[in-house]
Structure 1
Amino acid sequence: MSTLTEALAAPHLKRVLAVPGTPPFRFIAYLGLVALLVLAPVQVVAIHRQGERTEARRDAVAVAQRSVVALTTVSAENLDDDISRMMKDATPGFRAQFEKQATAFREGVRQGKVTSKGSVNAAGISSITEKKAVVMVAADGTVSNTVSSGPQERSYRLRVTLKRTDERWLVSGMEFVS
């Protein structure tokens, strides 16, 4: 028995592998291969779903940030464009809710000659499901108007509620929090 093949073919080794109650090596190898073939797709699906969840979180935060910047960046000269930018990512219900207050908002900005430039400092998911997300946003703004002697720094904390529709996150609610 000079080679490994000859050693494995030896009658005494065959008897050891064929002991009753002990599965042969080949059967165990096949069983392992079948388990691998069954579990590999499950793992691929799990990795894919994790990627989708990560992307959904990232997209929800991006929409919330964009909406807060749109809300905190307005000027009397470009008010209609500013409002359009705010409503770009709004659900029909939130858009209707804003329209109820839009006249007063427009008058206040125009009469006060308000100019505001906002930026987001931080944002993160508070909660998320397949169809709903709540994002907390911390933002700063520099506001000028006819009432103040110069630009004033403001800090904002907002809770932005988003609804998933047609593979897109839309703002369904926004409120200032302390």
Structure 2
Amino acid sequence: MYSANQEDTLRQEALDTARGYSTIMSSFDYQNLDANKDSIASMSTDEFAGTYRTMVDSLREVVAGGQGQASATATDVGIESLDNSSAKVLVFVDQQAKNVAAPEGNTQKYRMVVSLVRSDDRWLVSNVETK
């Protein structure tokens, strides 16, 4: 059982991890789609890092062909569930994206559920669902 301070620390670390991950995952540039790969891998379980790599590889041709670029901001985060070994965090992301079809860009709003597992002294992302 954790003290209130320890639980607050776990909660804040989970929120920070989910916020950072969602922002990095939702930001890309067709000129260097691998730029975020190391950051994503270091914040993920091995299994989910593989899932992420597969997703990027499957979208590579479409994003590069459309000259897609995006930056993102996690506007709000909140804990759905939390215990000493896992957490689910709701993340609201605003993504500013542009490509050849929309050169002026547009803003897309995403809701994500980021699943985390505790590994040693940090949280790792084990799944992300976009709602």
Give the TM interval when normalised to the shorter protein. Answer: over 0.9
Residue equivalent to 1:139: 93
Q: Distance in 2 between matches of 1:131 and 1:161?
A: 11
Greater helix content: 1
Contact 2:48–2:125 (8 Å) recurs in 1: yes
Q: Distance in 2 between matches of 1:123 and 1:89?
A: 17
Residue equivalent to 1:166: 120
Q: Distance in 1 between matches of 2:41 and 2:62?
A: 18
Matched, 1:148 2:105: no
Q: Distance in 2 between matches of 1:111 and 1:87?
A: 25
Give unpaired runs (5+ residues) of structure 2: none
Higher mean C-alpha deviation, range 120-129 or range 148-157: 148-157
Residue equivalent to 1:88: 42
Letter in 1 for 2:34: D
Pick the structure with greater CA Rg. Answer: 1
Contact 1:75–1:82 (8 Å) recurs in 2: no
Letter in 2 for 1:75: D
RMSD: 1.5
TM-score (norm 2): 0.92
Give unpaired runs (5+ residues) of structure 1: 1-45
Matched, 1:57 2:11: yes
Higher mean C-alpha deviation, range 158-167 or range 148-157: 148-157
Residue equivalent to 2:29: 75
How many residues were matched structurally?
131
Q: Distance in 2 between matches of 1:151 and 1:52?
A: 43
Instruction: Spell out structure 1 runs of 4+ moving beyond 3 A.
Output: none
Contact 1:72–1:117 (8 Å) recurs in 2: yes
| 1:102 alignment partner, one of 48, 56, 72 | 56
Letter in 1 for 2:53: E
Q: Distance in 1 between matches of 2:126 and 2:48?
A: 5
Greater strand content: 2
- RCO comparison, higher one (Cα < 8 Å, 6+): 2
